[in-house]
Amino acid sequence: MVPTFDYLLGRGLDGILDDIRQFRDRPLTPEEGMTEEDAMLWTKCMLIKAEECGGILNMTMGGVLKDGSGATNELTWMMMRAVRENGFRSPNLTLRLTADSPAALWNEAHLSLAACQGLPALYNDDVIIPMLMEMGYPLEEARDYCLAGCSQVILPGRCNFACDIGCYNLLKALELAMRDGRDGFFGKQVGVRSGRTEDLDSYEKLKAAYDMQMKYMVAVGTSINNKDICLRKREGACVRSLVNHDCLERGKGVFHGGARFYAVGNEACGITNAADSLFALIISYMRKRPCL
């Protein structure tokens, strides 16, 4: 049976997902009622439903399973093609890659990026999994991460990770370090006093001033995070608690001890610009011509 477009749109997102999962687990033959193109139609209709939501919906693909084997399957290729051909901004498609990812997967990612949607976003398992382990998460849990919203790393269904409640401008921290904590636009003291400009006569001193500004930013951000968590505990999170694996078993809400893992995922912007600026300053100091 070839599903009609109207039937698919009326079926609902959950029903569409169930049928797509059949194709992921075992591609059906034409005799069984679904061809690859049928499955593609189902996938595209599911993406239309996602677009109708209007929110930022992240969909993570690829990477590895908990046992370390590759997680790429037929649905990975289908989803990239469907997103590319639909041309929507949703879902926010992300692709987990490793140094051992097959060339065909890289080529498919390049083909999608060439469509100028900026999708999929690429994430390096060889960096993120060790990062999570360094933070204390078990290997199997670290391998099972996904992305939320734009780019926040979470452990789906097992955490209460709070994202988007803090953003640090790394380039702004460098500006404040070069101005003794004074904002160059507003002309106000917004950071800590970390040293006068004329006294920053070495890169080591500049780096120390930069670290001081970042520590101050983090302290301010942490105080905001603490207030945010208090509000979340007071307001509750019924839906998140229902879909979090451990909350029902523990009889606790996701922010009241029900989640298996707790963390806050803040963001940093201006990373590339800050890195470029610091590198330029290193070169300047090496040439003994401080550009401050």
Separation between Cα atoms, residue 20 and residue 42, nearest integer Å: 7
Separation between Cα atoms, residue 170 and residue 213, nearest integer Å: 10
pLDDT in the model for residue 36: 81
DSSP 196: -
Token pair for 37: 């193109």
DSSP 158: S
Q: What is the mean pLDDT of each run of 10 residues along the chain (292 residues)?
A: 45 53 54 74 85 83 92 90 90 92 93 91 95 95 89 87 78 95 93 93 93 94 85 83 90 91 82 93 78 51
pLDDT in the model for residue 5: 43
pLDDT in the model for residue 8: 44
Q: How many residues does the chain have?
A: 292
pLDDT in the model for residue 176: 96
Supply the angle between the helices 203-235 and 271-286 in degrees, to the nearest 10. Answer: 160
> Using an 8 Å Cβ cutoff, are 177 and 212 in contact?
yes
Separation between Cα atoms, residue 251 and residue 237, nearest integer Å: 13
